Amino acid sequence: MADGSKWLAFLAAIIGAGVLAALPLDLSAYGVSTGIVYFANIALATAWALFSGPTRYISLATAAFVGVGMYTVAFAHVSLDLAVCLMLAAIVGFLFALVVGLSTLRLRGVYFVIFTFGLTELMRQLSSWYEINITHKLNRFITISIDSIVIYEMLLVLAVAAVFGSWYVSTTRLGHALRAIGEDETVARHTGINATWVKVLVFAIAASMMSLVGGVYALRYPSIDPTVGFGNAWSFQVLIAALLGGPGRPWGPAIGAVLLVLLSDFLVGAFSRYFTIALGVCFVVIVYFIPGGIAPRIEHLYGVLARARHAARSAPGASAPHEPPTDAAAVDNETEAEMREVVPRRRSALRPLMRRLTRSGPMLRGGTGPPQGAMLSVDGLRKAFGGLIAVRDLSFDIPTGGVTGLIGPNGSGKTTVLNLITGELPPEAGSIILQGDEIIGARSFEICRARIARTFQLVRVLPGMTTRENVMLGRMFGSDPTGPAAALSEADILLDRVGLADRAQLIGSQLTYIDQKRVELARALATRPQLLLLDEWLAGLNPTELKIGIDLIRRIQREGVTVLMVEHVMEAIRALCGHVIVMNAGMKIAEGTAAEVLSDPKVTQVYLGDDNAAA
Amino acid sequence: MLRLEHISVAYGKHEALHDVTVDVAPSRTTAILGANGAGKSTLLKTVAGLVRPQPGGKVLFHDRPIEQEAPHRIVAAGIALVPEGRRLFGEMSVIDNLRIGAYPERARAGESERLKRQFTLFPRLAERRQQLAKTMSGGEQQMLAIARALMSEPKILLLDEPSLGLSPRLVSDLFSVLRRLTEGGQSIVLVEQNAYQSLKLADYIYVLENGRIASAGTPAEMRQDKMIQKAYLGL
Amino acid sequence: MERRTFIKGSAAAIGAVSLPRKLYAAAEAPTKIRFGTAVGMSGLFVDGSKSTTISQYDLWAKRTNDAGGLMLSKYNKKVPVEIVYYDGRFDINETTKLTEKLILDDKVEMMLAPWGTAWNIASAPITNKYEYPVIYTTAGDSILYTKANDWPYAFWSLAQPNEAVQPLIDWLVQMKKDGKIKGRVAAINIGIELGVEMANAFAKLAPKAGLDLVFNKSYPPDVTDLQPLLREVMATKPDAFFSFSYPPDTFMVTGQAQQLGFSPEVFYVCIGGVFPGYRDQFGADKVEGIFAYGGQDPSAPGYADYAKAMKAVYNQEPEAGAVQVYAFLQVVQQAIEKVGEIDRKKIRDEIAKGAKDTLWGDVTWKNQLNADPWAVGQWQGGKMVGVFPSNKHDAKPPVFPKPKWAS
Amino acid sequence: MFEVVLNGLVLGGIYGLIALGLNLQYGIARMLNLSYGEFFTAGAFASYFAITLYHYNPLLGLSVSVPVAFAVNWVIYRFLLLPLIRRAPNRDALDGDVVLCTFGLLFVFQGFEQVYWGGNVRGYYFLSFPVYFFGASLPANRLLAFAAAMALGGVLILVLRKTRFGTALRAIAIDPIAAGLSGINVLDLSASAFALGGAMVAISGSLVSTFIASSASAGIVYTLKALIVIIVGGPGRMAGAIAAGLLLGVAEQVGGYLIDPGLTLAINYAILILVLLIRPTGLFARG
């Protein structure tokens, strides 16, 4: 959205909230009690989407956290002041989620769903076991009676806090990190994001909100028992609400929640015995007909109108609403594997760069001082997949400040080497020393922060994020992290530098192959690397583009960045590499200057697979 | 026998193949050369039915259009692909992998003698018939992948970078096996980076560049072509 | 600070708004009297709620309207009644929500209890808060000993846990004294409110009375198989077995005990044991001598007509629990007709005075609780008869021992 | 104690039985069908009506429930899940969609069961006389189910190992694309594996209903149990499922005996979590 309309929306929301807060004055008691239900669901659905929206982890643990909140209050209210109880509920929920998250967020997809579903059941059993065998009373009484208007106001505050909170988070580093993880966790980690920690943290934040809501909601009941707190209904309703509204938007789940409560009220009145069926049908309908939820569609509509209105003045694409990833052109499962085959339309995509190369971008803080010694030295590195030995006892040095070429036929283990260096794969043996420090065992994000950046052979641009956001990530989480604002300005400079300024607002999936490669490079540079690993970054360029690409790499090197490039394009190797390592079948078979290795019979043999190839 | 007419393939926004026309003659070896990202694998995948060409493109096998067929139908029709990266059933024994190769109705008759033939062609497989595929070395896995494809008694064998990750000795072993196949009258479509070996084996060669046919001709003609020399022979 | 004062203000405002509304409501002559209830109509315990509660509400409404309705002397005319049902789905959250909906949104004239302790206890504070007099007919919870007086508009008609088990305990003690049993008692209970409450009361009182409690475990509400538990019970060789269970598992425990050939001299089941359906599933001979929670007095006034009506409408004989529910509908009916208008305050006070000549005999209250409820009934010759408290009218002496089951 | 363990083994075998079908659906067709348990209850109800309404042998209910379950599951795969497979950009997205879609189906089926069969628990008695060995007694109906579990499991393992059809199924489980390239009709076979899974759970439903009462809302419990079993045993591994079933059954019984019958699920989950954290590929998975 354009800034103007954003503030307008903000203002509207404030006013709306104010009105809602004053409403009870002339709202029927029933209005109040329904308001309570609405706000609770809004807060819960929003909290759910805060984590599950970006990461696409389908969590059914809502009920577990709500229940924890309820029980915390139920236990504490007898001895403590209400405010303290609620704080306690939030804290307990947070800690509980921290433990759960740390132990289970490594589970992907269905395993996570099952686990969270089970977690609720588990909590219900444990709590009833406790109440029956320890306190000998299943229902736990809430001895303070709070006026439902107070509950109404408290939940209203929580609902508003949830919506604005999740909107705010989405603008922070945390929010960006979370989105990046949802789009492509590998890239996120290689861009310096501590994925595990980010996930656990947000999971816990969302959970503490749920517990808080539960804590307040408990005050509605004269007494609670395990079926109230840990009833699965919470999890399902919240899930549907969020998906119905659209978990991709801060305000989507709120809409979903309102619609769902309306719907279920109608169903209870109209034909309650078919309630379950109707609920199920809702699920299916959402999955098939509104995968992204309602919010994106509304936004889309809004965008269309907005563009129609602003057509004259606004900058092209400036306020274009982005389709959610789910709406992006569906490609079959093999997409990724195909990408290597993907080829750009013939147009010199890099040409604008020529001009910019004369202008200087931000100084990349490269290897300080004059080039000396080895930036990185690999010794006795070994990695096998099943019976396949991908890398066997490989040793080499990367001289500081230079461009080193790593060549060899496909499948000779070059990319595996990069994965070992960047901590994507653990080696079976050997050591990797970065300027005197062993980096084996370091996790990808730590290696990125140690100022080693990489691009991927199968281009990996975050499809749902804009070009600009892609590059900002690098700056926000790279070797010296900054806030979004600073990152944004620097991202734009880098984009300008690689010639993508005019496409800053396009989302990754809308970019051509070449542009995606440029985004990847910009993203890597944004992390401020001292060592840059390029994996066939020049593959599939036409001669002109190739020339420009080569110049760009040279320029980067001149600015003090050491480069290791895996390449098949001999022309580039000759032009750039002072030092070339040749691999075959996981072994180093030659090393030296480009001229030396390319005239080495062993090399010609593996490349040309012919004994009299030299001729 | 196999003919691709005006094939264009796009993944989302990206056009991987653009108006490609290729002819494959019976009991000949057709090699397709090109850099990474040139569209070689996509070409084979299109034939094998793993990806669909844009409207207007045709894949004719014995003059029958197959571009909309499902992969298993195409295998049944007599085209077998040895996919890039081999895609063996790692959790299964060598023998099971081979048996699966003979799954199509057409291939079930005479399964056992074809099995014998594979074992004579690849003695190593005979030794390791009970071993799990995933525990074998790269060379053995590639052999198994080819043998599995041959079990379906294909009229055309499609090979996607068979020399991938093999040491020179294994590469020349591999190509000698392929030569024996061609001498046996097997038609082959070969996607390779290894230019010289391909030039030696192939009867006809297409060069792909950025999804287009850059040039085509007999090995002899190709050897003269300067661009090929430079771009794909790395010299 | 500011917020709090604001809330106070708005709360006061509500009070101001809602008060005159109530007076207004009372002043007009109703065309019908709507009784709202959020009883569970679908879910695990639907057998219980249908047999004990819903069938009786419907039957009472039918018989009352056949007689022209309730006589409201104030307008000197009979007004028909209507039951407004919402499905509470045996879910406390739903029950609370829908109870509020009935009172605040539909503004029904009167409220009726849902089925089951958990849901009765959950809605009582609400009906009390909005000053709707309700007799809660299917709740047993020790909390009521201390809390019932906080809810002047809620009345409780069942035997509460202590009263429900005490008479049997006394009897067992006597049997032990007479040397008829060794006094080894075992108990299991379902992990929901009433089960826990009864088991807890039993576990407290039985040892105190000198009985030897050899086994006491609880099992989850959605239990699908009680054999492992029963095997454990059998291993302790009790001569009296108490199953504080709900309809589904009451049937299950009886059936599986018979399968396992577990046939102690005293066999007690809680809710559902009094259902005619219970006898019909196992046969009169197999349930002979089984004790259950509840009881009835077929000689009570109007019982014969009631039984006829049950036969006519449901083709079923009376069920003790249901008789009780119906009886307390009569109490409400008497109160309304005495007051002669829908003034819930007056109706409440009238109920509190008690009632005469119901299917339950005469009714009196003590601290909002039924003063002398039936505690225990027993299957004798295919009939469910009341046995304890033995001083109640038409209480029959208990059969001992329960005939052995041929396993 | 011996009796407890024995019960655990029998119960565990039955868990294995319940999991076999889901193992076909999730392990081979790669679709996590959360409405799985509803076909269990359907099978149970079929038997229930067979004996209570028509006084037939309850196992005759299979003649209805099995073909119906097979057909319905086939339809689910072909017309509900296939579109999702076709549109999914990647595995994660597909899993998500499938979970949500089958959750929806779960509610729909459960709703219908509640409307037409009521929410109450329905049980009956069949072969309920005890059989004695080594001093311990076991009801015949449980032994029957246990035997059936072992038999079905064995047959399934043989089919997967020895027959061409089975080998093809295993191939699909490992790599659907490669399977297609080997001439296997992946769609049809996956659909039939999925449908077969549905049929099998209907069978287990009938068998189990002879001694465990069932209710409309019980389905999800069995789905959950089955899931735990196959995750512990390693998806796609029939032997693993049986073994995991036995393990869980014994753990549950012994735990329930030693600690509290209210905690059986808790015990199951403790084991599940341990496995997920220590050996996510499943205890009995190779490699």
Residue A612's pLDDT band, with cuts at 50, 70 and 90, is very low
**In chain C, what residues touch D225 (CB-CB under 8 Å)?**
none
DSSP state of A382: E
Q: Which of A104, A280, A287 sits opposite D97 (nearest CB)?
A: A287
Q: Which of residues 526-585 of A touch B (CB under 8 A)?
A: 536, 539-540, 542, 568-571, 584-585
Residue A112's pLDDT band, with cuts at 50, 70 and 90, is confident
- Please answer whether residues B67 and B58 qualify as being in contact, where contact means their C-beta atoms are separated by less than 8 angstroms: yes
Give pLDDT, residue B136: 85
Q: Check whether A329 has a pLDDT greater than 90.
A: no
**In chain A, what residues touch D83 (CB-CB under 8 Å)?**
288
C-alpha distances (whole Å) from C337 to each of B91, C135, C334 are 81, 16, 5
C-alpha A460/C-alpha A500 separation (Å) is 17
Specify the higher pLDDT residue, D11 or B233.
D11
Q: Which of D164, D181, D184 sits opposite B81 (nearest CB)?
A: D181
Are D111 and A277 in contact (CB < 8 Å)? Answer: yes
C-alpha C310/C-alpha C296 separation (Å) is 15
Specify the higher pLDDT residue, A396 or A547.
A396
C-alpha A284/C-alpha D79 separation (Å) is 13
Question: Using one digit for the tens of pLDDT, what is the confidence trace for D50-62?
Answer: 888 888 888 888 8
Q: Could you tell me which chain C residue has the CA closest to the CA of A272?
A: C87
What's the half-sphere exposure (Cβ side, CA atoms, 13 Å) at C335?
A: 25
Q: Check whether A336 has a pLDDT greater than 70.
A: no
Average pLDDT over residues D22-38: 91
C-alpha C399/C-alpha D12 separation (Å) is 42
Give pLDDT, residue D114: 80
Residue A325's pLDDT band, with cuts at 50, 70 and 90, is very low
Calculate how close chain D gets to B25, using CA atoms only, in Å. Answer: 22
Radius of gyration of chain D (CA): 19
Query: Which residue is it, tokens 């391909």?
Result: B198
C-alpha A382/C-alpha A390 separation (Å) is 8
Average pLDDT over residues A398-413: 89
Residue A179's pLDDT band, with cuts at 50, 70 and 90, is very high
C-alpha A191/C-alpha A206 separation (Å) is 25
B104 sits in the region (left: phi over 0; alpha: psi -120 to 50; else beta) called beta
Query: Which amino acid is it at B9?
Result: V
Give pLDDT, residue D121: 66
Specify the higher pLDDT residue, B14 or A132.
A132
C-alpha A126/C-alpha A120 separation (Å) is 10
Q: Check whether A404 has a pLDDT greater than 90.
A: yes
C-alpha D127/C-alpha A221 separation (Å) is 47
Task: Provide the β-strand partners of residue A592.
Answer: A580
Q: Which of B67-71, B128-132, C201-205, D263-267 has the lowest mean pLDDT?
A: D263-267
Q: Check whether B181 has a pLDDT greater than 90.
A: yes
Beta strand A562-566 with A531-535 is: parallel
Q: Check whether A600 has a pLDDT greater than 60.
A: yes
Is the ipTM beyond the 0.90 threshold? Answer: no
Give pLDDT, residue C8: 47
Average pLDDT, chain A: 82
Q: Check whether A351 has a pLDDT greater than 50.
A: no
Give pLDDT, residue A609: 54
Are A268 and C98 in contact (CB < 8 Å)? Answer: yes
C-alpha C10/C-alpha C17 separation (Å) is 10
C-alpha A559/C-alpha A551 separation (Å) is 12
Give pLDDT, residue D286: 57
Question: Using one digit for the tens of pLDDT, what is the confidence trace for D222-250?
Answer: 898 898 899 899 888 889 999 999 999 99
Chains B and C touch (3+ CB pairs under 8 A): no
C-alpha A47/C-alpha A416 separation (Å) is 40
Give pLDDT, residue B227: 64
Give pLDDT, residue C82: 95
Query: Which residue is it, tokens 């910019």?
Result: A356
Helical H segments across A23-147, by residue range: 29-55, 62-76, 82-104, 109-130
Give pLDDT, residue B156: 95
- Please answer whether residues C218 and D262 qualify as being in contact, where contact means their C-beta atoms are separated by less than 8 angstroms: yes
Peptide bond into C389 cis (omega under 30): yes
C-alpha D178/C-alpha B49 separation (Å) is 12
Q: Which of A343, A345, A607 sits opposite B37 (nearest CB)?
A: A343
Q: Which of residues 410-469 of A touch B (CB under 8 A)?
A: 410-413
DSSP B153-182: --SEEEEE-TTTT--HHHHHHHHHHHHHHH
- Please answer whether residues C394 and C306 qualify as being in contact, where contact means their C-beta atoms are separated by less than 8 angstroms: no
C-alpha distances (whole Å) from C227 to each of A412, C270, D4, D268 are 63, 18, 11, 19
Using alpha carbons, select from C281, C248, C139, A267 the residue that is nearest to residue D118.
C248
Give pLDDT, residue D200: 94
Calculate how close chain D gets to C11, using CA atoms only, in Å. Answer: 41
Q: Check whether A346 has a pLDDT greater than 80.
A: no
Q: Which of A535-539, A587-591, D215-219 has the lowest mean pLDDT?
A: D215-219
Q: Which of A158-162, A422-426, C223-227 has the lowest mean pLDDT?
A: C223-227
Give pLDDT, residue A311: 63
Give pLDDT, residue A356: 38
- Please answer whether residues A451 and A530 qualify as being in contact, where contact means their C-beta atoms are separated by less than 8 angstroms: yes
Give pLDDT, residue A378: 94
The count of CB pairs under 8 A between chains A and C is 103
- What subunits make at least 3 CB pairs under 8 angstroms with B? A, D
Using alpha carbons, select from A116, A66, A275 the residue that is nearest to residue D224.
A116
Give pLDDT, residue A270: 65
Residue A362's pLDDT band, with cuts at 50, 70 and 90, is very low
Residue A180's pLDDT band, with cuts at 50, 70 and 90, is very high
DSSP state of D120: S
Which positions of chain C have pLDDT values less than 70?
1-28, 406-407
How many beta carbons lie within 10 A of that of residue B85, not counting itself?
16
- Please answer whether residues C244 and C194 qualify as being in contact, where contact means their C-beta atoms are separated by less than 8 angstroms: yes
Q: Check whether A350 has a pLDDT greater than 50.
A: no
Radius of gyration of chain C (CA): 22
Q: Check whether A599 has a pLDDT greater than 60.
A: yes
Question: Using one digit for the tens of pLDDT, what is the confidence trace for D176-220?
Answer: 999 999 999 999 999 999 999 999 999 999 998 888 877 787 888
Q: Which of A34, A132, A147 to mutate to test the interface with C (most CBs of C within 10 A)?
A: A132
Using alpha carbons, select from A59, A49, A56, A183 the residue that is nearest to residue A112.
A59
Are A107 and D260 in contact (CB < 8 Å)? Answer: no
Question: Using one digit for the tens of pLDDT, what is the confidence trace for D266-281?
Answer: 888 888 888 887 887 7
Q: Which of A56, A117, A128 sits opposite D262 (nearest CB)?
A: A128
Are A138 and C98 in contact (CB < 8 Å)? Answer: no
Give pLDDT, residue A5: 63
Q: Which of C1, C2, C6, C10 to mutate to test the interface with A (most CBs of A within 10 A)?
A: C10
Are B152 and D183 in contact (CB < 8 Å)? Answer: yes
Q: Is C363 helix (H, G, I), strand (E, B) or coil?
A: strand
Where is mean pLDDT largest: A415-424, A454-463, B210-219?
A415-424
C-alpha D109/C-alpha D106 separation (Å) is 5
DSSP state of C219: E
How many beta carbons lie within 10 A of that of residue C149, not counting itself?
12
What is the percent of chain A with per-residue pLDDT over 70, rounded to a whole number? 86
Q: Check whether B167 has a pLDDT greater than 80.
A: no
Report yes or no: D185 at the B interface, CB cutoff 8 Å.
yes
Average pLDDT, chain D: 87
Question: Using one digit for the tens of pLDDT, what is the confidence trace for D138-180?
Answer: 788 888 999 999 999 999 999 998 899 999 999 998 899 999 9
Where is mean pLDDT largest: A2-6, A570-574, B229-233, C336-340?
C336-340
**In chain A, what residues touch B167 (CB-CB under 8 Å)?**
584-585, 606
Question: Using one digit for the tens of pLDDT, what is the confidence trace for B29-54?
Answer: 999 988 777 888 899 999 999 999 99
Average pLDDT over residues A317-339: 37
- Please answer whether residues C36 and C102 qualify as being in contact, where contact means their C-beta atoms are separated by less than 8 angstroms: yes
What's the half-sphere exposure (Cβ side, CA atoms, 13 Å) at C176?
A: 19
Calculate how close chain A gets to C343, using CA atoms only, in Å. Answer: 20
Calculate how close chain A gets to C339, using CA atoms only, in Å. Answer: 28
A414-444: b (≥16 Cβ within 10 Å) or e = bbbbbbbbbbbbebeebebbbbeeebbebeb
Average pLDDT over residues D88-109: 85
C-alpha B142/C-alpha B144 separation (Å) is 5
- Sorted by sequence, the CB contacts under 8 Å of residue A321 that are 6+ apart come out as A1, A296, A299, A300, A302, A303
Q: Which of A341, A392, A414, A582 to mutate to test the interface with B (most CBs of B within 10 A)?
A: A341
Phi/psi for C73 (5° steps) reads -60, -30
C-alpha A595/C-alpha A573 separation (Å) is 10
Specify the higher pLDDT residue, A240 or C348.
C348
DSSP D70-106: HHHHHHIIIIIIHHHHHH-SSHHHHHHHHHHHHHHHH
Strands (E), A518-576: 531-535, 562-566
C-alpha A132/C-alpha C220 separation (Å) is 10
Question: Using one digit for the tens of pLDDT, what is the confidence trace for A25-76?
Answer: 667 778 888 899 999 999 999 999 999 989 888 899 999 999 999 999 999 9
Calculate how close chain D gets to C275, using CA atoms only, in Å. Answer: 15
Residue A525's pLDDT band, with cuts at 50, 70 and 90, is very high
